Amino acid sequence: MPRLLRAWFFIFLLALSSIVHALETLTLGVFAYRPKPIIEAHYQPLADYLSEALGDGVKVRLAVLDQNEIDQALSQNQLDLVFTNPAHYLILRSENTLTGVLATLIRLENQQPTNALGGVVITLPQSSLYRLEDLIGQRVAYPGVKMLGGYRVHLYELLQRDIEVKQLQLLTKGTHDQVVEAVLKGEVDAGWIRTGVLEALEREGKLQADQLRVINQQNLPGFPFRVSTRLYPEWPFIALPHVKADTVRQIAAALMNLKADHPAAQAAQIHGFSPPSDYIAVENLARSLRLPPYDAVPEITLDDVWSRYGDWMLIYGLLMLMVSSAIIGLLVQNRRIRLSEEQLRLAAQVFSHAREPILITDHHGVIIDVNEAMCDSTGYNRPEMLGKTPSMLKSGRQPSSYYDEMWRQLRRGQSWSGEVWNRHKDGEVYAVMHNISVVLNSQGKPRHYVAIYTDITALKNQQAVLEHMAHYDALTQLPNRVLLNDRLHQACVQAKRHTWYLAVVYIDLDGFKQVNDTYGHAVGDELLIQVSQRMKEALREVDTLARIGGDEFIALLTDLESPALCEPVLERLLAAASSPIQIRLKDRHTESVQSLAVSASLGVALYPDDPAETDALNQEALIRAADHAMYDAKHQGKNRFVIYSAVSGSECKRITAETSSDEEADINR
């Protein structure tokens, strides 16, 4: 009998263990924008509702956290589901791998649902603050910098009114309830909170409707809450990527099926959930304010310079125009009437002390005067320039026809403005903006020319950098897809005109993914750089190698008198891709050199495939055909090339050529 009891007890323990292991727990992290006990009371029924919807095998555990705690929990993989405000969602998305938004919250107030939120500016009824402009110099409380309705939307409204944040005395309070409390106690002059907080506090009996007044209150039809700002999408509900796909679908369905009269919805004081809203408005707001995750220092653009220094640029331009007008006026009046010695001295001082380089010539173009700024700009002293012509500064980067047209316009008595590349005395080439005015004599003919220079070398260099970034891959410095398309178009035109062939070679590295996964992205990037350089060296000067993404490249072979001429180049590409590469590996304590090897599968599409039908394929069709042939090469064993050739419409033939090497790369793609 005791032995039988022990057996039954052992079976019971095994069954209990299997039940415990079968139960899966999902942790739902909810942002505590109000005191945690309130949020927990609101959303525990929602967690129970989701547990019931997921069945006996899954339990949803509620974790009410502030934003820093959510960040830390995500970094430690302690959360499976997240429910937070849109601004915090953008930051989390930039720092973590997330799925898309499953659903967007619909709040409920006075039986009126809404899936939008905004900001509310509150103050005491007796306060003299009525407009957002009245906040300048005042003490303003806010819950935290990651809050959308409690911080970011208010900053955007100030930005639209040209009010800088530093003009306000901002104080962080942690939660919306603490902001309201600070305003009621008179600790601050005003407070920033999100929509719905006032109504919730009044509903809870913690606030009377006449205790606070809303600044800049908006009357938005259909919106049930008091609001001071524009509206943005409500909270997103997010699942982490490790949650099973079936579970994610069940959760999304449960959220969509939650009715307003369900106890979980009533406890949370919400109407339910809607399909995911478009959060681009929240992203644009963060970009405009340059707040996380868009707080990286952006490239300086002309619009940025103009928006910040536009007033000074206008003043400076006006001053320069005034200086130029004064100089021209003095020179003209000097020939018409005799000015006093004081006037001449004044004109000379203005000319010599002007910060912009100024050059004056006679009507033949011979330099008769330059100021000190011109000497500093060119490297020549004044005696070296007098008696010469401005052509002494020519760099050779612009054709003679450019200057001929300039002089034709000047000799007609018209001013001229344009970019010119000059050469410094030390040989350095620099760019300037020329503004040349004509001084006419009493007969209306040119007598002098006055040129004012502005150095724009830095601007031109920045433009060159931007153009390079737009057309070349940042890692390998190879042409990107945009530049490839342009060269492919030109090559097709030339091939058709000269009855040549061209080949589009789609290249995919075999085994690169394993190298990347094994040694990390840094080693993978170095491998891509070295392999791409070798393949580039394997091509002819007239050919192009472009990187189109990841470990995929396209080589454009042009000026082929026959299709067979591309095969030696293809062999060289295969050899270049499969040659071992020495990579230096480093860790904290050791440094070693690792020999890595990949191979390449090449798909080749010829144009024109049929010399009599040069319009048979367009550019995209050529690339698709080469891509198709590349997959054939992979299916046939990799480390080889396959040439795709269309015959009789949809039928096609493939000519397969294997490399002379019997060894294939050990690393699979």
CATH assignment, 306-460: 3.30.450.20
pLDDT at 267 over 80: yes
Burial class of residue 636 (count of CB atoms within 10 Å of its CB; 0-12, 13-18, 19+): middle
The model's pLDDT over 183-197, given as tens digits with 9 standing for 90+, comes to: 999 999 999 999 999
Task: Say what the pLDDT of residue 413 is.
Answer: 85
pLDDT computed for residue 463 by the predictor: 82
Query: In this predicted structure, which of 18-32, 132-146, 587-601 has the lowest mean pLDDT?
Result: 18-32
The token pair that represents 643 in the structure block: 């040439």
Q: pLDDT tens, 473-491?
A: 889 999 999 999 999 999 9
- On the question of a common fold for 20-112+236-289 and 472-658, the answer reads no
Tens digit of pLDDT for each residue in 404-454? 898 898 888 889 988 888 999 898 888 888 899 998 888 888 989 998 888
Residue 657 has pLDDT above 60, yes or no: no
Q: Which of 277, 256, 288 is nearest to 116 (CA)?
A: 277
Burial class (CB in 10 A: 0-12, 13-18, 19+), 482: exposed
Residue 17 has pLDDT above 90, yes or no: no
DSSP assignments along 240-308, one per residue? -TTS-HHHHHHHHHHHHH--TTSHHHHHHTEEEEESPP-THHHHHHHHHHT-TTS-SPPPP-HHHHHHH
pLDDT digits (tens, 9 = 90+) for 2-12: 555 554 554 44
Name the class of domain 117-231. Answer: alpha beta
Per-residue pLDDT tens digits for 35-56: 999 999 999 999 999 999 998 8
Closest CA to 598 of 476, 507, 515: 515
pLDDT one-digit tens code per residue, 225-239? 999 999 999 999 999
| pLDDT value, residue 665 | 38
- The pLDDT of 619-628, averaged and rounded, is 92
User: What is the rounded average pLDDT of the residues 296-314?
Assistant: 73
The tens digit of pLDDT for each residue in 321-374 reads 888 888 888 777 777 766 656 665 665 666 767 778 988 999 888 998 988 888
What pLDDT does residue 395 have?
86
Coarse DSSP helix, strand, coil percentages of the chain, rounded to the nearest 5 percent: 45, 25, 30
Q: Quote the DSSP letter at residue 133.
A: G
As a whole number of angstroms, the distance between CA 15 and CA 11 comes to: 6
The second-level CATH assignment, the architecture, of 472-658 is: 2-Layer Sandwich (3.30)
> Regarding predicted confidence, which is higher, 14 or 263?
263
Q: What is the pLDDT of residue 172?
A: 94
Strands 112-114 and 270-274: unpaired
* The pLDDT of residue 2: 53
Domain spans of the chain? 20-112+236-289, 117-231, 306-460, 472-658
Work out the percent of the chain whose per-residue pLDDT is above 90.
Answer: 49
Which residues share a beta bridge with 79? none
CA distance 148 to 142: 11
Question: For 487-522, how does the pLDDT look when each residue is reduced to its tens digit (9 = 90+)?
Answer: 999 998 888 888 889 999 999 999 999 988 888 888
- Is the model more confident about 587 or about 73? 73
Q: Are 494 and 558 contacting, i.e. CB atoms less than 8 angstroms apart?
A: yes
Question: In this predicted structure, what is the pLDDT of residue 640?
Answer: 95
What pLDDT, in 10s, does the model give residues 527-576?
Answer: 999 999 999 999 999 999 999 988 999 999 999 999 999 999 999 999 99
CATH architecture of 20-112+236-289: 3-Layer(aba) Sandwich (3.40)
C-alpha–C-alpha distance, residues 432 and 454, integer Å: 5
Closest CA to 558 of 571, 548, 569: 569
Q: What pLDDT, on a 0 to 100 scale, did the predictor assign at position 40?
A: 95
Q: Quick one: pLDDT at residue 497? A: 87
